[in-house]
């Protein structure tokens, strides 16, 4: 039989590689916990109809959807927002704000490309039940803090817009079918100016108005100055004025979090047409091609589609594959190596049980500890301790034990020290 390989877009990650991934996941989750988000656990498979509510029948073509043995149409989850909406609707007793996070695998059946896989990790971080700039700012601050901890904050930019603001501006210009026009605006970055204007005209926008939309959506940059420029150029209207004022308020809270320097305003950021309702944002790498890392925003009317409750919500889904490429490019990807605190080396079978007692004590103190499992020679055990990057080797031998000591060796420097046999655990802990 030929050797079997993993499917395209699915990845095998051996311990050394996964150790690096785990470090990044831990940083994201640690940050979420610091901001008061609580971890949930949800199914990996849901009824396909749950995703049809949000995305329609076309979702079946983009996902791993199939009929299970009970004849039910089910889907490996491509995202967790519908699941979270279901969870919120099921529990009417949940007090607000509801602040949840979860890291788990997701699946999408789509073309495999750099930073986009068919099986991928994602951490969703959301706030439900609160409609305020404070909630908006906390979500962005949490995302920004993750990149600060990863050491690449200077290479990440958050581009912010408000869908209500854009909608108010289009209505003030008497633009009909604003959703279709927004779809064109969402593609602006990929179009030439002429293509952009032509596409707007295809949606029924006259040339003069199309040029005005082009001028307005070109407004971007540092938030305060961009909003002042927008106030000067925008058509008059209470809705537009209110939305601009809300963005000013958001800037003030972001400044209190000290993350405003990572944020810019960009009226061309639109994102998902069918569910985002207010603030939308995308995180971009400023290194090279301005690749999008992930996005998020406010989706105040989505959850009511899954039940009777109207629940405002805002959140983002952290993208690991794209962030991995950025960290590797900047030399900030963690070392892909095993890490072991101590290896307990037993010189003979007669001291094996004593060695296991030391290992048990060290493990009880929270250390990562290995012992010999195969009856290796002393030299082979030292070689294995070196391969697993043990920081210290505890050498347990009959002669030393009879003299009341055990040898502890620093594997990096090679230095050895004999310590009292009853103080081995405390000695190793003091060294680490």
Question: Both tokens of residue 368?
Answer: 């990562």
* 70 class by beta-carbon count within 10 Å (0-12 exposed, 13-18 middle, 19+ buried): exposed
- Looking at the chain, how many residues does it have? 432
Chain centroid to CA 46: how far? 22
Ligand-binding annotation for 90, yes or no, is no
Ligand-binding annotation for 126, yes or no, is yes
The β-bridge relationship of strands 292-298 and 98-107 is unpaired
The β-bridge relationship of strands 98-107 and 38-39 is parallel
Ligand-binding annotation for 276, yes or no, is yes
Taking the C-alpha atoms of residue 157 and residue 403, their distance in angstroms, rounded to an integer, is 63
The β-bridge relationship of strands 156-162 and 263-266 is parallel
Ligand-binding annotation for 271, yes or no, is yes
Ligand-binding annotation for 122, yes or no, is yes
Three-class DSSP labels, 44-113: CEEEHHHHHHHHCHHHHHHCCEEECCCCCEEEECCCCHHHHHHHHHHCCCCCCCEEEEEEEEEECCCCCE
Binding residues: 79-81, 108, 122, 126, 271, 275-276
Binding residues for L-histidine: 79-81, 108, 122, 126, 271, 275-276
């Amino acid at each position: 039989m030929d050797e079997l390989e993993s499917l395209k877009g699915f990845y095998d990650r051996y311990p050394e590689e996964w150790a690096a991934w785990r470090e990044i996941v831990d940083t994201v989750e640690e940050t979420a916990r610091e901001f008061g988000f609580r971890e949930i656990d949800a199914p990996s498979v849901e009824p396909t109809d749950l995703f049809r509510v949000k995305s329609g029948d076309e979702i079946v073509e983009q996902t791993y959807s199939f009929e299970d043995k009970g004849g039910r149409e089910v889907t490996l989850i491509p995202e967790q927002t519908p699941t979270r909406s279901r969870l919120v609707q099921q529990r009417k007793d949940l007090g607000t704000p509801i602040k949840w996070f979860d890291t788990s695998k997701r699946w999408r059946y789509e073309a495999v490309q750099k930073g986009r896989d068919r099986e991928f990790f994602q951490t969703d971080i959301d706030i439900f039940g609160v409609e305020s700039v404070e909630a908006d700012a906390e979500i962005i601050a949490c995302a920004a803090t993750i990149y600060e901890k990863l050491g690449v904050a200077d290479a990440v930019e958050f581009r912010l817009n408000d869908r209500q603001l854009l909608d108010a501006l289009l209505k003030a210009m008497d633009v009909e079918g604003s959703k279709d026009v927004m779809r064109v605006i969402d593609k602006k970055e990929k179009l030439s100016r002429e293509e952009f204007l032509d596409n707007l005209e295809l949606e029924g926008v006259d040339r003069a108005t199309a040029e005005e939309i082009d001028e307005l959506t070109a407004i971007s940059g540092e938030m305060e100055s961009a909003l002042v420029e927008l106030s000067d150029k925008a058509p008059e209207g209470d809705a537009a004025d209110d939305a601009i004022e809300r963005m000013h308020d958001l800037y003030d809270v972001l400044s209190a979090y000290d993350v405003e320097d990572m944020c810019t305003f960009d009226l061309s950021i639109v994102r998902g047409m069918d569910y985002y309702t207010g603030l939308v944002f995308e995180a971009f790498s400023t290194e090279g091609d301005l690749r999008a890392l992930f996005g998020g925003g406010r989706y105040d009317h989505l959850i009511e589609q899954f039940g009777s409750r109207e629940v405002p919500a805002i959140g983002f889904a952290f993208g690991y594959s794209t962030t991995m490429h950025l960290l590797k490019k900047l030399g900030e990807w963690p070392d892909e190596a095993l890490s072991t605190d101590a290896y307990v080396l037993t010189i003979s079978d007669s001291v094996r049980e004593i060695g296991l007692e030391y290992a048990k004590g060290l493990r009880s103190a929270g250390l990562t500890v290995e012992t010999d499992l195969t009856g290796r020679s002393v030299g082979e055990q030292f070689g294995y301790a070196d391969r697993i990057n043990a920081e210290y080797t505890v050498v347990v031998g009959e002669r030393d034990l009879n003299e009341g000591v055990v040898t502890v060796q620093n594997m990096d420097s090679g230095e050895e020290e004999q310590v009292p046999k009853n103080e081995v655990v405390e000695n190793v802990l003091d060294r680490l």
